[in-house]
Amino acid sequence: MKKDEVLEHFVRITNGKFNCCSESFRTISNGYFFIAKQNGVKNLIVIAKKGICDKFEGEKVGVIDIEKKDLDVLVCPRNHHNLVSLREFFPNLSPVTCNKVTSFGTGDRLGLATKAHANAFKGKEFFPVFAQQSVRELSRTKRTWRDVLDDASWGVFQSGFEGAFGADADHVKSEKDLEEAFNEGYTMFTIDPSDHVNDVSKANDREIQELYYSAPNRSELERLYLQKAYTILNTRLVFDEHSLFNLIAEYGKALEHVCRCYENLNSRTRRFDFEVSIDETEIPTTPLRHLFIALELHRKGVDFNTLALRLPGEWQKGIDYIGDIEMLRKELTLHFEIARQIGGYRLSLHSGSDKFSVYRTFSNVCHGQFHVKTAGTSYLEALRVIALCDPDLYREIHVFALSRFAEDVASYHVTTDLSRIPNIDHLSDSELPSLLDMPDARQLIHITYGSVLTAQDKDGKFLFRERLYNSLSEHERDHDRYVESHIRKHLDLLSV
């Protein structure tokens, strides 16, 4: 039976109480599955033989005769149990490792954006990483690894997306977090060793020497690298005594940490994507630093897939690149050539949201072989919809964000100037969405997301969270349209 006929049957037996999401419709032999919404709540609808229905938790609401077969009709909650059952029939709802040279991560702090993300990827030659969240984001939103992956998988199902996708446990700093994400089915692990990196620019000669001479493998490193030179695109990179001292002092403990994380994962599975992130430091990743890190990781047997560098310029959250694009191009060209010559990995761009002025440069220099991560930008589009459709709620959130910014900004490197944000009391409702086009206002909203989502009154009731979710549910089409358009703009500019 055709999709439209099945949906008509369902609407008829439920007396029109549900709005069916036709794009989610999927079939197997003796079974039909789709999402339907009732009173703002999305449900999984299963129309199938009893043996199939028995795998799902839900309420039987009737029987439909389809092609001379009586099929039970279940209305099921979108919970973890039902998702696991659904994956038995549709394996693409489980994340896998990356199978393309070009990939793109779409963080979703609310758990509502994956349907729009998936629609943005249709027709694009990118491997999508739909479930991407950092440990910091989990902490600030009070979500779990399971929450993030389940929300992404349900979004994939509702969108009708039939391709593969990945799940990235982002900026993991501890083996405990690594193991928890692995146990929930994540396929990509981004290790952030920044807590183990020593900023030698702030150390004196005695402190640097102590770090250097305490390195357990110092003699071996001297034998391997001291006075060794590499030529990269006519640029000579030399490990002289001073640079090698600094490199070992800076990254020695960080590389040991990365190795421990890799060995932990490798003891559990042979199929995972492994990213090393050295961008969360004040130390720019010079070509010599990149060369040392990549050579050492390979020498130690760490088969990493992507490497995130601290590139020149300002890569601030939620706004465009600040810096000399030609200088970036020259430096990036050296980095790409180092990666090409060493082999086995791609460059990864973090804080990749909204860097529209450099996407063409980045993509062309890397010959389309890269990974890009975005996170807060979809949250900003959600707040744009709130400003557009629920201005009173946006005004409350904006004022609260101003009160929280000084504390929340402590863990970010940004140059936000709150004085450049217009007084919201002087703006009409129709002018509110334009705030999300202003760099300072974008960063205000971007950085305070955790406080906004978790703030409670004296009785323990959320100040904004439930109203925010209810409003976005009511205006789901607007939300999906804005998020899809915004992510597609990223993908269009990155496409070679």
Is 250 annotated as catalytic? no
Q: Say which amino acid occupies 171.
A: H
What whole-number distance in Å separates Cα of residue 284 and Cα of residue 20? 51
Q: How far apart are the first and last CA of the chain?
A: 42
- Please state whether beta strands 41-48 and 69-77 pair in parallel, antiparallel, or not at all (unpaired): antiparallel
Hey, what long-range contacts does 360-368 have (CB within 8 A, 24 or more apart)?
360/493, 361/325, 361/328, 361/329, 361/332, 362/332, 362/494, 363/493, 363/494, 363/495, 363/496, 364/496, 365/329, 365/332, 365/333, 365/336, 366/332, 366/336, 367/336, 367/496, 368/101, 368/102, 368/496
What tokens were used for 330? 């020259």
- Please state whether beta strands 69-77 and 235-238 pair in parallel, antiparallel, or not at all (unpaired): unpaired
What whole-number distance in Å separates Cα of residue 295 and Cα of residue 184? 32
Give the residue carrying structure tokens 């992956």: 149
What whole-number distance in Å separates Cα of residue 339 and Cα of residue 375? 25
DSSP, res 456: B
274 three-state secondary structure = strand
Q: Say which amino acid occupies 461.
A: K
Is 151 annotated as catalytic? no
Residue 210 contacts residue 252 (beta carbons within 8 Å): no
Q: Say which amino acid occupies 58.
A: G
Among 275, 280, 331, 484, the active-site one is 275
Helix residue spans in 130-217 (DSSP H): 135-141, 145-159, 175-183, 205-213
Q: Which of 368, 384, 485, 377 is nearest to 435 (CA)?
A: 384
Residue 165 contacts residue 120 (beta carbons within 8 Å): no
Q: Which of 211, 191, 341, 361 is nearest to 279 (CA)?
A: 191
Burial of 300 (0-12, 13-18, 19+ CB in 10 A): middle
- Please state whether beta strands 188-191 and 229-232 pair in parallel, antiparallel, or not at all (unpaired): unpaired
What whole-number distance in Å separates Cα of residue 59 and Cα of residue 228? 70
Among 137, 170, 279, 476, the active-site one is 170
Burial of 313 (0-12, 13-18, 19+ CB in 10 A): middle
Q: What residues are annotated to the active site?
A: 170, 275
